[in-house]
Amino acid sequence: MSDRASAVLRHAVPPLRRLLPQVLLGLAAGLSTVALLAASAWLIVRAAEQPPVLYLSLGVVGVRAFALGRAVFRYLERLAGHDAAFQQLAAIRTGVFERLLPIAPDGLAATRRGDLLTRFVGDVDELQSVSLRIVQPVVSAVVVVVVAIAGLAWLAPASALAAAGCLVAGVIVAIVAQQVIAARADRRLAPLRGELQAAVVEHVQALDVLVAFDAAAPGRARIRRLGERLEQAIRRRASAAGITAAAMSAVGGFAAAASMWAAEPLLAGGRIDAPTFAVLCLVPLAIAEVSAALPSAMGFIRVVRTSAERIADAVPDAIPGGVPLPPRAPVELPTGLGAPALRLRGVSARWPHVAGADDSHGGESWGEDSSIAPADLGALDLDIEPGERLLVEGPSGSGKTTLAHVLVRFLEYEGSYRLGGAEVRDLDPIEVRRIVGLVEQRPWLFDEDIRQNLLFARDTASDEELLAVLARVGLKGWVVERGGLGAPVGERGALVSGGQAQRIALARAMLADFPVLVLDEPTASVDPDRADALLRDLLTAAGPDRSVVLISHTGAPRELIDRAISVEPSPSSPVLQYDA
């Protein structure tokens, strides 16, 4: 495991004061389990010797107390453990988030590819199992087993040695089976599972095409074959995982037999009495039950280690090249001038290489214009005058999105990019983003109501202002129809269409009142025949004083724009300019 993954794991362990209660409670529960069986065995065998009842009363009380204690301690332990784990979750999440901030968004695979996002967030949340399922059970089980074995040793050292030998052997077999064999099988399983899942999704989504082209039956046969291969791999893994279960199940019986055989000479020699002998024979069963927690905790180590390694990869220590760094002494931007002019001279930019962004398709390349790694931007000269409407055209792979990210200072650039006369490299990136705003290709809508989705752009805005800005982007009727500003937008904007999402995003940008606005492919997720209407509404709503950079590969009605440029794929970067 890499050092950085270990560091991630160390941060996930709660501080001692929060860890201690659950460990102590787990200890009490485990000791009660062992003591219950010991006390019961002692009670029964001692009773068979028919002493006066008074001699048994301690055993009777003990049996009842341990029975009650085991259930109560276990309940409290689970509560304390979960509480501590959730408290640590806040620390884990904020810790990871604070490390994300300097490299976000473009140095971060998770925000670049949606399918990685859920996995990344799941990995972070997985770390709460570190205390709950690993540290606490292991510490409790080890201490209980050691104390119980020490107790046996006090009664009969040979028994303790024999039982301990069996337990250690059993636990080692169980852990090795899990760590080595099952881990190897797991590694084979993950890609097979992914392949099957991808095949099923593709098949179902394209089912009408497959049926229309008589290709559904072969597709189904392929999925069946994948399923059979997965079943074989699962069976191999089950055989390995079964060894763990089998070893832990057998170990109790073997340890009991070993302890008995070692204690028998003491009984025959009269050095221990019959009740003690019974305790020595039965207690190993309870110890084995407690130590069964160890292999399952080891299984969780494997899970969280994978998560920790992925997090360590996704959040690099060093800020990757291509992500802009804030300058040590930022220059103040001259203010109060409305929209400043933007002057780009020989600006080129490339996307940071990001681990995890391209690890999931088996090394195959789908070509340069795949959506995973946006294209580099070649040397570009560009002037944007205050209040100008500029259309940036160009085929896929010419770096249009890259240009948008340079303009809002998500990406580092080479060459010169001046904003109102100041070199952008010398400005605080947050200041740049106060001037230049971006409406993204797929704007993120938060799973709240429309009001909350607008308010975070300007939290002092009144409902009247919000409705006014919605009216400007042509959404007022729609919002009223939906029941007002309190209408939900759904998870990832599931309840609104692509065009409506763009309009909401634009409304947000207008509330923030950016003097320069970059629209990145606003019609990408809109039916082709509705695209022009959307563009018309967006550009009209932006008003006459704002500079607008419209990025679109399908173009725009010429009467809406002042000027158009075309970017060509890098490295050759002839920029064709013409007047609209």
Interaction of residue 187 with another protein, rule CB under 8 A: no
Distance CA 5, CA 390 (A): 47
Decide: helix, strand or coil at residue 540.
Answer: helix
Q: Considering only residues 150, 190, 207, 325, which one is a binding residue for another protein as defined by CB under 8 A?
A: 207
Question: Secondary structure of 283-339 in the HEC alphabet?
Answer: HHHHHHHHHCHHHHHHHHHHHHHHHHHHHHHHCCCCCCCCCCCCCCCCCCCCCCCCC
| Minimum CB distance to another protein smaller for 179 or for 370 | 370
Residue among 224 and 328 whose Cβ is closer to another protein: 224
Stretch that binds another protein, among 20-28, 147-155, 320-328, 507-515 (CB under 8 A): 507-515
Site residues (CB under 8 A) for another protein, limited to 274-293: 274, 277-278, 281-282, 285
CB 65 within 8 A of CB 35: no
- Residue 578 makes contact with another protein by CB under 8 A: no
367 binds another protein (CB under 8 A): yes
The structure tokens listed for 43 are 């009670």
Site string for another protein, 17-56 (x = CB under 8 A): -------------------xx-xxx-xxxxxx-xx-x--x
* One residue of 7, 191, 197, 345 binding another protein per CB under 8 A: 197
CA 546 to CA 338: how far, in whole Å?
A: 8
Q: Which two tokens stand for residue 172?
A: 């080692």
* Contact pattern from residue 216 through residue 245 relative to another protein, giving x for each residue in contact according to CB under 8 A and a dash for the rest: x---x--xx--xx-xx--xx-xxx-xxx-x
Nearest to 324 by CA among 112, 520, 106, 516: 106
Size of the residue set binding another protein (CB under 8 A): 144
Contact flag: residue 2 with another protein (CB under 8 A): no
Cα(481)–Cα(476) distance, integer angstroms: 9
Is 158 a binder of another protein (CB under 8 A)?
no
Residues from 425 through 444 that contact another protein (CB under 8 A): 430, 433-434, 437-438, 440, 443-444
Task: Kindly state whether residue 188 participates in binding another protein, applying the rule CB under 8 A.
Answer: no
Backbone conformation region of residue 312, classed left if phi is above 0, alpha if psi is from -120 to 50, else beta: alpha
Closest distance of CB 560 from another protein, Å: 19
Residue 105: is the preceding peptide bond cis (ω within 30°)? Answer: yes
Of 441, 445, 423, 443, nearest in space to 432 by CA: 423
User: What residues between 481 and 500 interact with another protein by CB under 8 A?
Assistant: 491-492
Name the DSSP class of 449.
B
- Paired with 423 in beta bridges are 418
| SS3 call for 293 | helix
Q: Choose, by CB under 8 A, the member of 6, 87, 416, 497 that binds another protein.
A: 87
Answer yes or no whether residue 318 interacts with another protein by CB under 8 A. Answer: no
- Rule CB under 8 A: say whether 359 interacts with another protein: no
**Residue 259 or residue 306: which is nearer to another protein going by CB?**
259
Q: Choose which of 28, 34, 38, 70 interacts with another protein (CB under 8 A).
A: 70
Options 396, 416, 497, 566; binder of another protein; rule CB under 8 A:
396
Q: Is 98 in the site for another protein (CB under 8 A)?
A: yes
Strands 377-384 and 342-349: antiparallel
Query: DSSP string spanning 127-153?
Result: TTHIIIIIIHHHHHHHHHHHHHHHHHH
Token code pair at residue 79:
């509560």
Q: Rounded to the nearest whole angstrom, what is the least distance from the CB of residue 124 to another protein in the complex? A: 7
Q: Which member of 343, 472, 508, 546 binds another protein (CB under 8 A)?
A: 508
Would you count residue 213 as binding another protein (CB under 8 A)? yes
Torsion angle defined by CA atoms of residues 498, 502, 507 and 511, in that order, rounded to the nearest 10 degrees: 130
Does 205 bind another protein (CB under 8 A)? Our answer is yes
The three-state secondary structure class of 372 is coil
| Angstrom distance (rounded) from CA 431 to CA 46 | 83
Site map for another protein, 527-566, x if CB under 8 A? xxxx----------------------xx------------
Residues 119-148 that bind another protein (CB under 8 A): 120-121, 124-125
- CB-count burial class (<10 Å; 0-12, 13-18, 19+) for 103: buried
Do 375 and 569 contact (CB within 8 A), yes or no?
yes
Least Å distance between CB 577 and another protein?
19
